[in-house]
Amino acid sequence: MTEAAKRYARHIRVLCLQLLVGVVLVGIEPIASQAQSFEHATKDKILAALPKLEEAAQQVIANGGVPGISIAVVYQDEVVYLKGFGVREEGKSDLVDADTVFQLASFSKPMASTVVAAIVSEGVASWDSRIADIDPSFQLYDAYPTTQVTVRDLFSHRSGLPGGAGNELEEIGYDREAILQRLRQVKPESSFRSGYSYSNFGLTAGAVAVAKAAGMSWEDAAEAKLYKPLGMSSTSSRYADFLTRTNRATLHAQLDGKWSALAKRDPDAQSPAGGVSSNARDLAQWLRLELGNGNYDGKPLIDAEAISQTHLPLMARGKNPVTGGWSFYGLGWNVEYGRYGEVWGHAGAFSTGARTLVSLLPAEELGIVVLSNAFPTGVPEGLADTFFELVMTGKTTQDWVIEWNNIYGQLFGPAIEAAIKRYGTPPASPLPALPLSAYAGTYFNPYIGKAVVAEKDGTLEIRLGPKGKAVFPLSHFDRDLYTYRPSAEMPTMPVAVTFEIGSDQKAAQVKIDDLNELGLGVLTRIETDRPASP
């Protein structure tokens, strides 16, 4: 198992995945050359490409590539294409159309940067505002970064905060306030401003601080500064609003080779980084604003300098594994230099079943949004690359959907298989466990909080998160090692829970592997009457 696969196995349940993080880009040979001759886009070329894009989308649906897809295309400030394909939920008849609302996952990040740019335009904060000045409650592990970290640092993922920090807390039910407060316990992955580490909750901290400077909650700021001015009536940064939409897409993951609606996903804790829900029709209006550099319907809505800052390349990320383009991160945007010049884009994914993409060619005034309701899949990237190649060269040189699906197969399949191989089946002759009472008890550390291991019906279960609401049965594996399966979307994926036995023949500590990516998943037994944060 490669080191990259091991890293992925440790954080397989990260719920808001940015699909081309640096570790993915390194070591994968691109299958396409960066240099390619092309002519500039024209309306006629785009209109000629659209039927072929539609045919490719229909083929994906017919082949079972994803249950549903929705697409928007904007060119020269005009919405030239809006259409949906497939179904909102596998096995049901409700069809996807341009008004079907999808959960966007990390596609939310460039939208968050637009909201912040709007607030920056008003002068109440800047991209270089120090978080200590606008939200003194936020702290990092070390004093110097805490006093100096800026909105720009957090939106470009260069604060030093490890990428997975906070994701594991969200999974077991902690809210945004609790997660952001606990980030100060996380040791930096790199020195301040020296390294790129994609962080959902780092970006969330920056966005929340700017909204606070404007005297608003993040959700209210997003609505007031972006969604309402653009008439995006089906767009929200609140999960509760998504649930009210009658025309909404269900999440799907793979089970026994079939798409199934296995889990739901409430991303409110990381709303700026992954919590937007929207449809193709609304997002087309946002594309107009972005391609117009802050102008909308012929009027300046956001200061051009404030929004243009979001598209500057700040942190190197390596090469795109399929197109070969050099990739950087800006402020909530990927900035790539590829076959057709500069590209602004961002992918979104939930392991529970969302895959989305925005991709813009600013020099061509051309952009596409592809939304789908399944994970893992490379369909959004595949369709976007197909469309751009058709427009810019008049033909396709390969099946881009297949190429992107292959990338996803390389990334996720081997890691999951390795975990199942290691922990899926207990040894033929396992060492017996101690009496269940030896493991039962309350364990604690200040980052994860409490974990209660309790006997139930002759077995053990573990209760995690606020008030122990996340409850999972434990299966004995070998002596003091148990496993559990915390991901509804990956029910065959086992995770190790290992007890350390003290001199009194009772467990003194417990290590929970999927909560230990940062070394903070080891909890110590406490007396039940000892005060401890939940």
DSSP 278-310: E-HHHHHHHHHHHHTTTEETTEE-S-HHHHHGG
The CA distance from 509 to 444, in Å, is 9
Averaged pLDDT for residues 88-104: 98
Prior bond to 376 cis, omega within 30?
A: yes
Predicted pLDDT at 15: 31
The CA distance from 379 to 375, in Å, is 10
Q: Is the overall model pTM greater than 0.85, yes or no?
A: yes
Summary mean pLDDT of the chain? 92
Sort strands 341-350 and 258-260 into parallel, antiparallel or unpaired.
unpaired
Averaged pLDDT for residues 73-91: 98
Answer yes or no: is pLDDT of 402 > 60: yes
Residue 224 burial (10 A CB sphere; 0-12, 13-18, 19+): middle
State the amino acid at position 506 in one-letter form.
K
| Alpha helices, DSSP H, located in 297-371 | 304-308
457: left (phi over 0), alpha (psi -120 to 50) or beta: left
The CA distance from 312 to 224, in Å, is 25
Predicted pLDDT at 36: 59
Predicted pLDDT at 12: 38
The CA distance from 68 to 178, in Å, is 35
Sorting pLDDT into bands at 50, 70 and 90, what band is 529?
Answer: low
Predicted pLDDT at 527: 85
Answer yes or no: is pLDDT of 4 > 70: no
Answer yes or no: is pLDDT of 9 > 70: no
Q: What percent of the chain has pLDDT over 70?
A: 91
Averaged pLDDT for residues 393-398: 95
Answer yes or no: is pLDDT of 531 > 60: no
pLDDT per residue over 15-39, tens digit each? 334 343 333 343 334 444 444 577 8
